[in-house]
């Protein structure tokens, strides 16, 4: 008897949204897999298929039924199961009814905690084909569809109208209704190349049948690989290299079931435009892959993909060339028009753009950022004049025609226009770098002025939005404050900048508070911002291989500079590998507990000690205190902890031989003062008592 069969479900529809196709496909597969697990159905593998006109799921070797099992229900305790006369109580009789049986069929369950009535029943597993339809319906219902639509006279809803549904289990169809469609075993091929219905006999033949008979490549990743290879081959034919970004590659794969490359060209005069303008026009508006030469310079060519194998590809090429030419001409016009006015001349126009209703205009933000940039540059001994100039011009490209058309080019066009205005190169570069890092893992600013401007811009946004109470909650973060906080941290840490983030947040807060009449408490705002930033720092550290207890050990001494924090953290990570680490961590926990319980008040000096071991520890502690001072001045926390590790033997000997909480109050105070000295020495780096053994 067959105990497993392959399963295939395919839902055919009108063209699905290309930017969410892969997300829908993955969610659909996940939903079905979760449903199978919940139903205790076993299988050996699963795969999703997705094209513009279909979502499909293949389940390999799916068991034909749930396993049989024994269900045990526990009822009332024996003492509550009988009335005083020995007859069954109402509780016992009610339990029997709930189990669908009679009282005399109930059993007794005895455990170490008592005895209860119970009912044991053998339950036969349901057939898989009876369970599958509801599992599929539930997965469809849970798909992440922002806006569902209805069509015709149907009451069902989906992201697009649906036209067919295949539900094949082994060589048999599971007959049911999905989204108003009767399931069958016939799929449909390419809309134009193979519009006829195509019968399927085996789930495992699905992709092969669609490819050979339907002119459809069902596997999304296979289509992506084919498109990438075909684009590079087409580009090579014009002595170029296709410039392929993953997002566009995924979108093109979601637009085509049978992708065919088409190479086109445009007037070389447009190559005089900034390359980012051409790339954005081709990628965003036309879904073309730009083509570069071996030196990375753009060629006057592009690669597009048609979803049809045309008998006249030349006409498709010419059509695409006709479409892209006016787009590039518009960009050329914007470029020429924008350069008639300098960025400096656009500063005043920022007064007409609201940044946030409670935080003023973009011009107001510009002035705040300029002051912050000056503040940061002064602390870094950087060029204050360049920092202020970059901050003043930072947002002016928002007022240009080009950025008005292509919002993703803000900053980039600012750099080009600044260079055209003969601004210093560092200022021009900083205007672009203010938005760095643009996403997780992308580069931080290279120029010092860019680093200053990026930090200033982000801290003003963070503190300002917190000040007006729009703090991120859950997944909602409309001002991208989490990304801003991480961007500040990465820029500081990865470029080794000594910046006090607490002072910076307070400076930003004072600016906002004195400029606008807000009811919130500014110091409290700064505190919340710092807490928010250090929450992001913890995530950053965990992602980089540090542990939570290492982070907590450093956080306990509240360093105010992220770079300093990371230097301490690395020292702690290295320290815990030393053989002395476990003993010293335990000793520090003991010291902290003793000081806490004794409510010790630090004494001016350590008085007379009696035992040799405590005198020896005092001398060792005095010596280490002198040794670590120059190391701390250099922020050499690694060497500091290594030196303190040398105290291990003296600390262990002290605790083995000396009673700290002795009866003599003066002696006890002196011993507590000695422990406090040791604790403070370790706390110059981190609280190693936080380290877990």
pLDDT of residue 125: 86
Q: Which residue has the tokens 């219905």?
A: 197
- In our burial notation (b when 16+ CB lie closer than 10 A, e otherwise), range 381-400 reads ebbbebbbbbbbbbbbbbbb
Task: Reply yes or no: is the peptide bond before residue 313 cis, omega within 30 of 0.
Answer: no
If you search the block for the tokens 């390419």, which residue do you land on?
190
pLDDT in tens, 80-123: 888 888 888 888 889 988 888 888 888 888 887 888 888 888 88
Q: Cβ(263)–Cβ(301) under 8 Å? A: yes
The reported pLDDT for the residue numbered 108 is 85
CA separation, residue 358 to residues 355, 510, 517, 592 (Å): 9, 15, 9, 47
Residue 490 token pair: 């990465």
Tell me, what's the pLDDT at 603? 59
Q: Could you read off the pLDDT of 10-46 as tens digits, one per residue?
A: 999 999 999 999 999 999 999 999 999 999 999 999 9
d(CA 646, CA 624): 9
Mean pLDDT on 304-323: 95
What's the rounded mean pLDDT across residues 549-557? 95
User: What is residue 106's three-state secondary structure?
Assistant: coil
pLDDT in tens, 498-540: 999 999 999 999 998 887 765 555 558 889 999 999 999 999 9
Question: What percent of the chain stands above pLDDT 90?
Answer: 73
Q: How far apart are CA 644 and CA 648, in angstroms?
A: 8
Q: Give the per-residue pLDDT at 105.
A: 84
- 10 CB-near residues (< 8 Å, 6+ apart): 49, 54, 55, 56, 164, 165, 166, 187, 206
Count other C-beta atoms under 10 Å from residue 21's C-beta: 22
Spatial separation of the C-alpha atoms in residues 169 and 414, rounded to whole Å:
59
Task: Look up tokens 């455990």; give the residue.
Answer: 111
Q: What is the pLDDT of residue 664?
A: 85
In whole numbers, what is the pLDDT of the chain averaged over residues? 93
DSSP label at residue 591: H
What does the pLDDT read at residue 411? 97
Residue 570 CB contacts under 8 Å (≥ 6 apart), including other chains:
637, 638
The token pair at 556 is: 């306990």
CA pair distance 225, 212, nearest whole angstrom: 19
Nearest to 656 by CA among 616, 607, 625: 616
* Burial class of residue 458, CB neighbours in 10 A (0-12, 13-18, 19+): buried
Instruction: State the DSSP H helix or E strand holding residue 427, giving kind and residue range, or none if neither.
Output: helix 425-433
Mean pLDDT, residues 399-408 taken together: 96
Q: 173: helix, coil or strand?
A: strand
Q: How many CB atoms lie within 10 A of CB 19?
A: 12
Confidence of residue 671 (pLDDT cuts 50, 70, 90): confident
Higher pLDDT, 661 or 288: 288
Decide: residue 75, CB within 10 A, 0-12 exposed, 13-18 middle, 19+ buried: buried
Q: What is the pLDDT of residues 623-665, one digit of tens each?
A: 999 999 999 999 999 999 999 999 999 888 998 898 988 888 8
Question: What per-residue confidence (pLDDT) applies to 523?
Answer: 58
pLDDT at 347: 97
Sequence-ordered list of residues with C-beta below 8 angstroms from that of 493, at least 6 positions apart, any chain: 540, 562, 563, 566
pLDDT at 161: 95
pLDDT at 61: 96
Residues 115, 106: Cα–Cα separation, whole Å: 13
pLDDT of amino acid 475: 79
Task: Give the mean model confidence (pLDDT) for residues 176-199.
Answer: 96
CA 415 to chain CA centroid, Å, is: 29
Q: How confident is the model at residue 2 (pLDDT cuts 50, 70, 90)?
A: low
Confidence label for 476 from pLDDT (cuts 50, 70 and 90): confident
| CA-to-CA dists, residue 39 to 31, 64, 95, 128, 141, angstroms | 12, 12, 26, 9, 17
Domains, the chain, ranges and CATH?
A: 4-66+127-214 (3.30.70.260), 69-123 (no CATH), 220-337 (no CATH), 345-544 (1.10.3210), 579-690 (1.10.730)
Three-state SS at 642: helix
- Cα of 17 vs its chain's centroid, Å: 23
The mean pLDDT of 334-340, rounded to a whole number, is 97
pLDDT over 90 (residue 416): yes
* Residue 260 β-bridge partners: 306
Per-residue pLDDT tens for 365-381? 999 999 999 999 999 99
pLDDT band, very low/low/confident/very high, at 1 (cuts 50, 70, 90) = low
Q: Token pair 């690669």 is at which residue?
A: 303
pLDDT computed for residue 517 by the predictor: 63
pTM: 0.83
Q: In the 3-class helix/strand/coil scheme, how is 309-324 assigned residue by residue?
A: CCCCHHHHHHHHHHHH
Task: Quote the CA–CA distance of 96 and 117 in Å, as a whole number.
Answer: 9
Q: What is the tens place of the pLDDT at every residue in 583-619?
A: 888 888 888 888 888 877 765 568 778 888 988 988 9
């Amino acid at each position: 008897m067959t105990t497993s069969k392959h399963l295939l479900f395919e839902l055919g529809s009108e063209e699905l949204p290309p930017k969410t196709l892969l997300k829908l496909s993955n969610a659909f597969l996940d939903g079905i897999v979760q449903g199978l697990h919940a139903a205790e159905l076993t299988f050996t593998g699963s795969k999703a298929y997705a094209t513009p006109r279909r979502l499909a799921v293949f389940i390999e070797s799916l068991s034909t039924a749930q396993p049989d099992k024994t269900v045990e229900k526990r009822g009332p305790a024996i003492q509550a199961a009988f009335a005083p006369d020995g007859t069954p109580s109402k509780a016992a009789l009610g339990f029997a009814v709930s189990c669908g049986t009679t009282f005399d069929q109930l059993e007794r369950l005895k455990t170490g905690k008592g005895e209860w009535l119970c009912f044991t029943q053998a339950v036969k597993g349901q057939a898989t084909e009876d369970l599958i339809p509801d599992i599929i319906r539930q997965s469809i219902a849970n798909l992440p569809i922002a806006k569902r639509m209805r069509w015709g006279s149907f009451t069902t809803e989906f992201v697009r109208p649906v036209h067919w549904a295949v539900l094949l289990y082994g060589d048999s169809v599971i007959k049911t209704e999905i989204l108003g469609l009767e399931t069958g075993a016939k799929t449909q091929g390419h809309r134009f190349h193979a519009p006829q219905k195509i019968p399927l006999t085996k789930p495992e033949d699905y992709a092969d049948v669609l490819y050979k008979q339907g002119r459809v490549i069902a596997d999304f990743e296979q289509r992506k690989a084919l498109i990438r290879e075909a684009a590079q081959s087409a580009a090579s034919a014009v002595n170029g290299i296709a410039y392929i970004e993953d997002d566009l590659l995924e979108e093109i794969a979601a637009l085509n079931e049978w992708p065919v490359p088409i190479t086109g060209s445009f007037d070389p005069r447009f190559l005089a435009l900034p390359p980012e303008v051409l790339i954005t026009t081709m990628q965003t508006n036309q879904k073309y892959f730009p083509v570069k030469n071996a030196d990375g310079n753009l060629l006057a060519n592009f690669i597009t993909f048609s979803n049809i194998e045309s008998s006249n590809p030349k006409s498709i090429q010419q059509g695409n060339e006709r479409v892209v030419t006016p787009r590039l001409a518009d960009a050329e016009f914007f470029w020429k028009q924008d350069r008639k006015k300098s960025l400096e001349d656009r500063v005043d126009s920022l007064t007409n753009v609201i940044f946030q209703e409670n935080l003023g205009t973009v011009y107001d933000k510009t002035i705040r950022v300029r002051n912050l940039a000056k503040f940061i540059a002064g602390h870094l001994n950087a060029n204050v004049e360049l920092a202020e100039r970059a901050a003043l011009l930072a947002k002016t490209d928002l007022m240009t025609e080009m950025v008005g058309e292509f919002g993703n080019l803000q900053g980039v066009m600012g750099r080009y226009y600044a260079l055209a205005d003969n601004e210093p190169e560092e200022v021009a570069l900083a205007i672009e770098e203010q938005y760095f890092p643009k996403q997780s893992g992308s580069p931080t600013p290279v120029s010092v002025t860019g680093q200053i401007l990026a930090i200033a811009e982000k801290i003003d946004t963070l503190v300002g939005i917190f000040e007006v109470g729009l703090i991120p909650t859950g997944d909602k973060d409309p001002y991208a404050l989490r990304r801003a906080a991480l961007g500040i941290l990465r820029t500081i840490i990865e470029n080794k900048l000594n910046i006090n983030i607490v002072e910076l947040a307070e400076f930003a807060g004072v600016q906002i508070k004195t400029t606008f009449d807000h009811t919130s408490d500014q110091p409290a705002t700064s505190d919340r911002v710092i807490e928010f930033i250090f929450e992001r720092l913890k995530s950053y550290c965990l992602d980089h291989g540090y542990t939570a207890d290492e982070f907590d050990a450093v956080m306990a001494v509240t360093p105010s500079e992220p770079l300093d924090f990371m230097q301490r953290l690395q020292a702690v990570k290295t320290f815990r590998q030393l053989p002395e680490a476990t003993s010293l961590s335990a000793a520090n926990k003991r010291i902290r507990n003793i000081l806490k319980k004794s409510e010790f008040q630090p004494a001016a000096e350590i008085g007379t000690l009696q035992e040799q071991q405590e005198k020896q520890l005092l001398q060792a502690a005095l010596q280490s205190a002198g040794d670590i001072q120059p190391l701390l001045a250099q922020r050499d926390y690694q060497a500091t902890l290594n030196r303190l590790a040398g105290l291990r033997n003296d600390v262990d000997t002290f605790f083995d031989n000396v009673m700290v909480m002795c009866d003599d109050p003066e002696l006890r105070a002196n011993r507590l003062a000695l422990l406090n000295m040791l604790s403070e020495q370790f706390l110059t780096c981190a609280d190693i008592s936080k380290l877990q053994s």
